[in-house]
């Protein structure tokens, strides 16, 4: 049993946490692709930017002297999401909208998003330096140890507070997005525009508003993902730049433009990464008396240095075998 708990702590919780981050990022990427038809490379840096916005706001909040049972970084998330959404709108207005107005090809927008990536990275490093920061420098990071009431189990289930908050807020965000896309007029308009922009326009959908709403949702979710990731690990300028490719992998896995696919793809990748580097010999150890071979010290599918590579391999294989994604994604 202890081994199973270890497996749960290491692989299951890790997979859910990573999957939630990927899912939140991938939803933004996939919505932008569905509406604006280009691969928005700066999405990872939008996440980092959101993390830093939360960090600044958390500093302001902490200096106000209020003490709440939740981490300050989490309390300020709604405000930070609004700020990041506004920044996302500004970035669109300044850098992407003029190119779209000229009728530039999606590839040009992709290159422009690389330029935006570099600008955000440069600015963040300019103002915050290259070092690592923590949201928990002034307050402790709560860790919950849940002891199971089963005979012979000594190992507790370990979950940290940010991880619980991350999973909870991902669930809330996903459900809210689902209701927005299926029930509200604007959400239906978004889906229509993803399916056929021209038809959406002639049937009276305000496409400019849809584009703005897309950026608001993408920016808000990016901020949520970036902040939660920074709460879970730590805040650094290349926080999300390193995971922008797994996020794209998740979006492609679910079929670009397909919001539910992106969520599923995010969790598939999250679990694939954690399971691939999990040391399976731990699970075999209880059976060491009945097994005919000696259990090696470490038995992982890939060495842990290659953890991120798992996502890229899955990405490349999906692109080659089934570029439309596992759910045959056309659009949301």
Partner 1 sequence: MTARYIGFFAALFVLIIGVSMMMGAAFTVRLMVEAFAYALIAMGLNIQWGFGGLFNFGILGMLMVGGFAVTFISFPVNFDFWNSAAPLYMGRTLLAAAIGAVIIVLAHRVQRLGVTGKWRGAVIVVAWFAAYIIFRSQMDPTAEYITSTSGWIGGLGLPVLLGWAFGGVLAGLVGYLVGKVSLGLRADYLAIATIGIAEILRAVIKNLEWLTRGTLTVSPIPWPVPYPTDFQDAGADTTMSFVLARGSFLIIVVAVVAVALFVIHRAYLGPWGRMMRAIRDNHIAAGSMGKDVKGRQLEIFVFGSVLMGIGGAILVSFVGIFDPSSYQPINHTFLIWVMLIVGGAGNNFGALFGGIFIYIVWILSAPLAQALFSSLSGWSESMGWGAIPEIASRAVQMRVFVMGLIVTIALRFAPRGLLPEHIRHKE
Binding partner 1 (rule: CB under 8 A), the pick from 24, 57, 83, 315 is 315
Minimum gap (Å) between residue 237 Cβ and partner 1: 8
Give, as ranges, the residues between 75 and 134 that touch partner 1 (CB under 8 A).
95, 98-99, 102, 104, 106-108, 110-112, 114-123, 125-126, 129-130
**Chain centroid to CA 72: how far?**
21
Between 125 and 212, CB nearer to partner 1: 125
From candidates 229, 243, 249, 276, binder to partner 1 by CB under 8 A:
249
**CB-nearer residue toward partner 1: 37 or 178:** 37
Largest CA distance in the chain: 72
Q: Whose Cβ is closer to partner 1: residue 181's or residue 275's?
A: 275
Q: Is 99 exposed, middle or buried (0-12, 13-18, 19+ CB in 10 A)?
A: middle
Question: Using the rule CB under 8 A, which residue among 252, 262, 263, 275 binds partner 1?
Answer: 252
**Nearer to partner 1 by C-beta: 18 or 224?**
18
* Residue appearing with tokens 């927008």: 109
Q: Is the separation of the CB atoms in 295 and 288 below 8 Å?
A: yes
Count, residues near partner 1 per rule CB under 8 A: 43
Identify which of 292, 314, 320 has the alpha carbon closest to the alpha carbon of residue 301: 314
Going by C-alpha positions, the residue among 168, 145, 154, 130 that lies closest to residue 16 is 168
User: Is residue 284 at the binding interface for partner 1, with CB under 8 A as the rule?
Assistant: no
* CB of residue 124 to partner 1, shortest distance in Å: 8
Our CB check for partner 1 shows the closer of 106 and 286 to be 106
Pick from 39, 118, 31, 45: nearest CA to 315: 39
Closest contact distance (angstroms) between CB of 291 and partner 1 is: 17
Residue with tokens 């709403």: 213
Those residues whose C-beta lies under 8 Å from the C-beta of residue 330, and which sit 6 or more positions away, are: 195, 255, 257, 258, 324
* Segments in 254-306 forming alpha helices (H): 259-276, 281-284
> Which 46-75 positions form the footprint of partner 1 (CB under 8 A)?
none
Residue bearing tokens 């089934």: 322
Residues that bind partner 1 (CB under 8 A): 38-39, 95, 98-99, 102, 104, 106-108, 110-112, 114-123, 125-126, 129-130, 245, 248-249, 252, 303, 305-306, 308-309, 312-313, 315-316, 319-320, 323
């Amino acid at each position: 049993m202890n081994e199973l708990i270890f497996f749960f702590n290491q692989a299951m919780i890790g997979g859910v946490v990573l999957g939630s981050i990927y899912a939140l990022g991938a939803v933004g990427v996939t919505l932008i692709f569905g509406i604006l038809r280009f691969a928005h490379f700066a999405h990872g840096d939008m996440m980092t930017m959101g993390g830093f916005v939360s960090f600044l706001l958390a500093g302001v909040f902490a200096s106000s002297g209020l003490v709440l049972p939740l981490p300050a970084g989490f309390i300020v998330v709604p405000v930070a999401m609004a700020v990041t959404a506004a920044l996302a709108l500004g970035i669109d207005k300044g850098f992407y909208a003029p190119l779209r107005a000229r009728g530039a090809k999606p590839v040009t927008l992709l290159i422009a998003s690389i330029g935006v990536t570099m600008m955000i990275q440069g600015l963040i490093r300019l103002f915050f330096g290259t070092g690592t920061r923590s949201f928990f420098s002034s307050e402790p990071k709560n860790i919950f140890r849940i002891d199971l009431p089963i005979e012979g189990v000594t190992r507790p289930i370990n979950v940290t507070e940010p991880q619980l908050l991350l999973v909870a807020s991902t669930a809330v965000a996903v459900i809210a997005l689902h209701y927005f896309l299926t029930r509200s007029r604007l959400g239906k308009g978004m889906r229509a525009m993803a399916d056929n922009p021209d038809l959406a326009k002639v049937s009276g959908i305000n496409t400019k508003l849809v584009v703005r709403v897309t950026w608001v949702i993408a920016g808000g979710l990016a901020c949520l993902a970036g902040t939660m990731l920074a709460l879970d690990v730590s805040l650094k300028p290349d926080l999300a730049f390193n995971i922008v490719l797994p996020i794209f992998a998740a979006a492609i896995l679910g079929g670009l433009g397909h919001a539910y696919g992106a969520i599923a793809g995010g969790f598939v990748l999250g679990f694939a990464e954690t399971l691939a580097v999990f040391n399976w010999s731990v699970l075999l150890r209880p059976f060491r008396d009945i097994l005919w071979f000696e259990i090696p010290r470490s038995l992982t599918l890939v060495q842990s240095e290659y953890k991120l590579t798992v996502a890229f391999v899955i990405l490349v294989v999906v692109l080659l075998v089934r570029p439309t994604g596992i759910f045959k994604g056309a659009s949301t």
